[in-house]
Amino acid sequence: MNIIEVRDLLKSYPLPGNKKETFNAVDGITFNIKIGEIYGILGPNGAGKTTTLEMLEGLNDIDGGSALINGLDVSTNVFKVKEIIGVQLQANEYFDKLNLTELLILFGKLYSEEIDSDDLLKKVDLLGKSNAKPEELSGGQKQRFSIACALVNNPKILFLDEPTTGLDPQAKRNLWNLVKELNTAGMTIVLTTHNMEEAEYLCKRIAIMDKGKLIAEDTPQGLIEKYAPEPQQLASQGNIEDVFLALTGHTLRD
Amino acid sequence: MLTSMQLHLAKVFLKIFFRDRQSITFNLFFPLVFIGAFLFLGGEPDPIKLGLVNNSTNTISKDFSNLVKGDQLFEVTEGEESDLKEQLLLGDQTAIIVIPENFDYSDKTSELRLLLDASQVRQLGTIKEAINTSLISIERELRKSEPMFSLKIEDVKARSQRYIDFLLPGLLAFMLMNLSIAGSGFNIVEYRRRGILKRLFVTPIQPKDFIVSIVLARTLIVLMQISVVLGLAIALLDVKIMGSFFSLYGMVILGTFIFLCLGFSLGSIAKTQEAVRPIVTSFTFPQLIFSGVFFPISSMPEIIQPFAHALPLSVIATGLRDIANDGVSLLIFNSTTLGIVIWIILSFFTVTKFFVWKEIAS
């Protein structure tokens, strides 16, 4: 059963340098996400991944098409949708002078919920840091804390925007395990990433976006079989990175 | 009614503020330095150096001279007009009063000449007002006026003789303007730049919850800081609040509301942290100069007086002064309360027009 249904989703912005004309950052994409899936959106910089996520999260207006989350139309029920989703943004900053416990309690209050902050910190392996300020945490700890903040409302769907960018291999692996655990407990997870290994390791299905369009969607193995070079002979040697480069080309994007 | 979410967020803003010791210190620094300076000076301004030329020989002029000399507001030097004029030009005298030869007020009005150095524009209005008030007082004394009149005179004198009484309400208004604009304008830009607003916006918090919390927290912060300064002024400088504290604090709350709204608008216009400073300065600086915080608006050139009177800081400072010095109630409708109502409407209209939550958050 689908928990997210996206139809012809469109977002346009004025063209930089020529405000009279527009370009489509997200150009009529359609996809469904099933309950309990880890769904990855892959794409080069500027492909429209974050914009897509932000439209689903209610941070960005939808210019065309529709997005249903748990049966709710995001355009008309944005606050109800926000109550059932958890969001980890690419950059996470918090109010100064508050420690992790105080921040979690604050986020809980924003959902009108009383939370057990220790339980959440334990879940992300930060119980020993409850009195620390976010700026005192390492990169990996910060990312785990931002996930804890996204979990305060016990969401049905968790959105993660490039969760492991900038993390060392240990921190990355630790975060993957956390994502797997949350998914095993029944949470649907939607993530964007540049990291092919991450997409391949975590995601049940992957969508590849480029220039605002969704150019491929399948399971990691399905994509490898379809798009990796010389699939008949080299399928076992190919990986999702090969698929990605085959589909989006080798040109630098920024 | 306030929701528990709004109350909690307001509590968080208060917590953040009280943990920022540096900010508290510097917010209180400026007004406390002023109070300290007045304490050091004994709370009274220096007397006005007044040259007195008595061209008359009659008893009335002598009585008049003695009363002028006895007034604590003046440090009187008697002498010839030409000598005193030289001293005035050198800055040794502030003003000269010339008593005409045929000084007599029993059957006609005598004309006293007041010589001033017009280059002292800044002080001109204050001096004229102070001298005029004192001379009226002396006149009443000579004429032995009715008691009803002398009551009125004491009131006028009390105001002009104590500069701190004039200054304190203006200082409080200036303080509340800075605290409010820092709390809304600067914070909004800072929260936006750091992505904190975006993080808040992914939760079901509504813009009104956020605004209500900031307004609540900032109003409490302003009330607390103003109470500290006011308390010290009352305890150490013997400042008397003629009106009720209900009216005074009511006015502070209304002023805070106006400046918070204006601050939100300024913060919404500013796209970057670099832009917010000049934008806020171009708003607050003219008000510091033209709002009669340090000198009465009546001492300014007439052409700018209507503009000066219309500024929000002038309206609040005048309102606080009316309450503190004249005992006017906040509930009495006059031109100041009308000004406040107009500014509440204007600032509220501006904030609803400029404060676009989505743009702020993204």
Dist. CA B94–CA B318, nearest whole Å = 27
For B198, the closest chain A residue by CA position comes to: A59
- What interface predicted TM-score (ipTM) does this complex get? 0.85
Question: Between chains, do A102 and B5 touch, taking CB under 8 Å as contact?
Answer: no
How near does any CA of chain A get to the CA of B191, in Å?
A: 8
Dist. CA B193–CA B276, nearest whole Å = 11
Which residue in B172, B184, B185, B189 sits closest to B213, CA to CA?
Answer: B184
On whether the CB atoms of residues B138 and B69 are closer than 8 A, the answer is no
Name the residue among A59, A80, A96 with its Cβ closest to that of B362. Answer: A59
Global confidence as pTM: 0.74
DSSP A144: H
Dist. CA B295–CA B303, nearest whole Å = 16
Assess B228–A contact: CB distance below 8 Å, yes or no: no
CATH topology of domain B48-161: abc type-2 transporter like fold (3.40.1710)
Domain boundaries, chain B: 4-41+163-361, 48-161
On whether the CB atoms of residues B294 and B167 are closer than 8 A, the answer is yes
pLDDT at B67: 78
Residue numbers in B near A59 (CB within 8 A): 198, 201-202, 361-362
Taking one residue from A and the other from B, the number of pairs with CB-CB distance under 8 angstroms is 66
Assess B21–A contact: CB distance below 8 Å, yes or no: no
pLDDT at B158: 44
Mean pLDDT of chain A: 89
Question: Between chains, do A59 and B202 touch, taking CB under 8 Å as contact?
Answer: yes
Residue numbers in B near A95 (CB within 8 A): 12, 16, 196
Residue numbers in A near B4 (CB within 8 A): 109, 112
Tens of pLDDT, residues A216-233:
999 999 988 888 776 555
Dist. CA A124–CA A129, nearest whole Å = 11
How near does any CA of chain B get to the CA of A128, in Å?
A: 23
pLDDT at B132: 77
Assess B16–A contact: CB distance below 8 Å, yes or no: yes
Assess B335–A contact: CB distance below 8 Å, yes or no: no
Tens of pLDDT, residues A159-171:
999 998 888 888 8
Q: Region A63-88: what's the mean pLDDT?
A: 94
Beta strands in chain B (DSSP E): 48-54, 74-78, 95-99, 113-116
Between B14 and B120, the more confident residue is: B14
A100-114, A122-136, B61-75, B271-285: which has the minimum mean pLDDT? B61-75
**If you search the block for the tokens 């007086």, which residue do you land on?**
B305
Query: CA Rg, chain A, in Å?
Result: 19
Return the half-sphere exposure (C-beta side, CA atoms, 13 A cut-off) of residue A9.
Answer: 29
Q: Which CATH architecture has domain A2-248?
A: 3-Layer(aba) Sandwich (3.40)
Write the DSSP string, B187-247: HHHHHHHTTHHHHHHTTT--HHHHHHHHHHHHHHHHHHHHHHHHHHHHHHH-----S-HHH
Dist. CA A97–CA A136, nearest whole Å = 11
